[in-house]
Amino acid sequence: MIDSIKAIAILLWPFIPSASEKIAGWLGFKIKSLSQVKKPLKIRKIKKAQILFKKIKLEKKEKELAKEADKKMTVSFDEWKKLELKVGKIIDVKDHPNASKLYLLDIDLGNEKRTLVAGLKNYYKPEELKGKLCIVFTNLEPKTIRGIESKGMVLAAVNKEKDKVVLIEPEKEIEIGSRVE
């Protein structure tokens, strides 16, 4: 039994050296190399073991993680003002040639037209999207998605299970190109 504990301490030494060295100290030997695993331990007086690891209080840890998450979610007003969100109208919907779950949306923003890549194929048919008003993140850096450059992003809400996606659209009619503030 002692040799098994000794072997565990030696084998864990590269990963948790301080804990392994504490165990070795209690058993009365020093870890020098992994080859010591094969040598039986000469029985000496075993020191009284102490608690090796402090118990993690889950409630405290969860509160700390929640605080961290809150910090990460905070956006300053100045940062918010940098976002350019505009009302757009979906004028055409095409299948993405290189992706089964993506559409290519042609969007009219009033003063310009853009093509966006959107992962809405599992949730909407093309005829449900065509003609809809939507909110478009217009100053998002362009990104090539499966070979097609997307010049913005349509905003949508997603439930926790990620099995329902709903396009965010203005409640009432408003001019295309209107800014969300």
CA distance 81 to 181: 8
Model pTM score: 0.61
pLDDT, position 66? 80
CA distance 91 to 105: 8
CA distance 120 to 102: 6
Please say if the pLDDT value at position 67 is more than 70. yes
Looking at every residue in the chain, the average pLDDT score rounds to 90
Amino acid identity, position 118: A
Please say if the pLDDT value at position 149 is more than 90. yes
Q: 82-110 pLDDT, tens per residue? A: 999 999 999 999 999 999 999 999 999 99
Contacting residues for 142 by C-beta, under 8 A, at least 6 apart: 149, 150, 151, 152
Is 6 in contact with 21 (CB distance < 8 Å)?
Answer: no
3-state helix, strand, coil in the chain (%, to 5): 30, 25, 45
Long-range contacts of 140-146 (CB under 8 A, 24+ apart): 145/96, 145/99, 145/102, 145/117, 146/96, 146/98, 146/99, 146/102, 146/117
Percent of the chain beyond pLDDT 90? Answer: 55
Domain with CATH 2.40.50.140 in the chain: 79-167
For domain 79-167, which architecture applies?
Answer: Beta Barrel (2.40)
CA distance 123 to 164: 7
Of residues 128 and 61, the one with the higher pLDDT is: 128
Q: Cα torsion for 170, 174, 180, 181, to the nearest 10°?
A: -110
Contacting residues for 121 by C-beta, under 8 A, at least 6 apart: 95, 96, 100, 101, 102, 103
